[in-house]
A and B are shown apart, each in its own frame.
Chain A
Amino acid sequence: MIKKQWVHDVKAIPFLLPFFIAYMIFTIFPIFKGLEMSLYDWTLVRKLEFVGLENYIKMFTDRHFWRTLWNTTLFVILTTPTMVLLALGLALLSNLNTKLKTFFRGSFFIPSILSVSVISFLMIFMLQPYNGLVNNVIQMFGIEAEPKWMADQGLAWVTIVVVTLWWTVGFNMILFLAALQDIPESLYEASEIDGASRWDMFRYITLPQLIPIGRVILLLQILASYKVFAQILLITGGGPGGATRPLIQYIYEVGFNQNNLGYAATMSYALFFILLILSIIQLKSQRSGEN
């Protein structure tokens, strides 16, 4: 039964090749293509001239780049802790000993299967001043106010954060819920015998058992939030006055509206390195969590 090694090698090729080709062309090659583009003056139509590091120098002095990078970072700061806490709270509600728990879980999760375009326009129409549902409900409770949810700088951020939480919390809630259900019942029984209160159990059993998954969620959330783009573009358009414009929107505008793919590729590289570092941290901590 001893065959030559090359026979095994050849047999594996048809299995590996389809994935390998797609992976090389659409995942690996664009990284190198991006490097080339960032060194050129490059328009939507064709590449023009080699400019060396000019695009990089421009990036470091471009206040729009720093402003939009800060907006994206602010989004990460605002959404990450709130997301983790909300996901935990919703998971605890979905884990209650009631017949309604399937309904709870489904309701918390269902927004996250909807398209970003759907949830964005749903919110635009619900949050309109004067005849939007949200303001009318507020007024139904006797509060005389007409908040401009998307036109005021502070409120625009509130809107973006709340919509994002509502839309994406379900995924993280499910991760917490699975971890909750993995906590051995015997731990609670033992602590009950020792006379622990329900709060003690939550504080000394449930929370510590949730720390590993909590760390995974935290890092996945930071990583995902740095890619924010579509819901901001669709709900506020990056406004008012660029106050909520994220980095990816600026990259898009430079590339496709200002016809400067070379500079857009340069800023993509900055984002690439931020995300790369974050995902290395994520993979590392996940591995140490498993051991």
Chain B
Amino acid sequence: MSDSQFGNETAVPIRKSKVLQRNRDPKLGLKVTLGFIVALIFISPIIWMLFVSIKPNGFSTTEPLEWFLPPYTFYNYVDIMFGSLIFRWLFNSLIVAVITTALTLLITSLAAFAISQMKFRFKNFIFIFFLLGLMIPGEATIIPLYEVAKSLGLIDTYAGLILPMIASPLGVIILKSFFDNVPKEVVESAIIDGCSYFKLFYKIVLPLAKPALSAIGIFTFIGSWNNFLWPYLSIMSETLYTLPVGLPVFNATYSQAYVQPMTANAIASIPVIIAFLIFEKQIVKGISFTGIKG
């Protein structure tokens, strides 16, 4: 798209004496080595965590390399999954993240569809009203949100973890701009054929917005999975904790033992690490998309 902008470059005369050799950077080897070292530093805490989680119970050392050497055991995983509340918290995190993601996608895409494709009064006003939400920081309204949730009986419930998180203005904006690109002829011919708006929505428009839906879905899921402040305020019962709230409670009972806390951390991290490895491309694309738009 920027080609046209710089199209006049072809007008620059090519001097014969100069050979194009941009791909040969004399310092490339040095830069790659630097990159490799920095990359290792970045992932070393995560790798260390995974190695500690498979060390025998009670292991500790002051020799850095010994953390990574055998003997290994997976007993800690079994022990923690069945002998603590971690499995319950994992389940809570998962169920909350899945439902939050599903509901967010549902309500934001419905609203975005109406704003993009339907002709009703005060449309611009409503859209701007939704846009205002972008400027309202959740952290700064969390004390009154607690009061609101309390009066609705949502404190210490799954619904209380989910419902306040689903009205995402950014989701509406991104989806609206996607729906706007659906060809007019497609929409008009469907309407002339007697297609209802609901059918048009889920049969034609939604499938076309898959890239946007998956980007929003992935970010909503990761956001919910890692959400700390709201579950920390709104959940009192240990059995309803999500992993981010439960882990500190679990870890605080170990100050010198390494193996159990790191196993618990690994259990909380492995699902998102796997999800990242599978969806890396969509995540990277989604960030450059939502980051700039948002």
Contacts and interface: CB of A to CB of B under 8 A. Distances in A.
Given A104-B35, A114-B226, A117-B247, A19 B139 contact: no
Interface residues of B, number: 106
Contacts, number: 299
B272 interface: yes
Interface in B48-71: 48-49, 60-64, 67
A19 B113 CA distance: 12
Contacts of B148: 25-26, 29-30, 33
A32 B34 CA distance: 52
Q: Is the interface of B mostly helix, strand, loop or mixed?
A: helix
A96 B143 CA distance: 47
B228 A213 contact: no
B149 to A, nearest CB: 8
Contacts of B45: 111, 119, 122-123, 126, 166
A192 B14 CA distance: 10
Interface string B105-133: 01110110111001111000010001001
B120 A12 contact: yes
Contacts of B110: 14-16, 18-19
Contacts of B107: 18-19, 22
| Max chain B Cβ within 10 angstroms of own Cβ: one of A27, A184, A279 | A27
B111 A171 contact: no
Interface string B150-167: 001000000000011111
B151 to A, nearest CB: 9
| Max chain B Cβ within 10 angstroms of own Cβ: one of A18, A105, A280 | A18
A290 B148 CA distance: 38
A186 B144 CA distance: 54
B216 interface: no
8 closest pairs, A vs B, by CB? A178-B288, A15-B114, A107-B39, A19-B111, A272-B140, A34-B144, A33-B144, A93-B35
Interface of B: 2-3, 5-6, 9, 12, 14-15, 18, 20-23, 25, 28, 31-32, 34-36, 38-40, 42-43, 45-46, 48-49, 60-64, 67, 106-108, 110-111, 113-115, 118-121, 126, 130, 133-137, 139-148, 152, 163-167, 169, 172, 197, 201, 222, 225-226, 228-229, 232-233, 243-245, 247-248, 251, 256, 258, 261-262, 265, 268-269, 272-273, 275-277, 280, 283-284, 287-288, 291-292
11 contacts: A19-B130, A22-B166, A23-B169, A33-B148, A96-B28, A108-B38, A171-B291, A174-B291, A223-B137, A268-B140, A268-B141
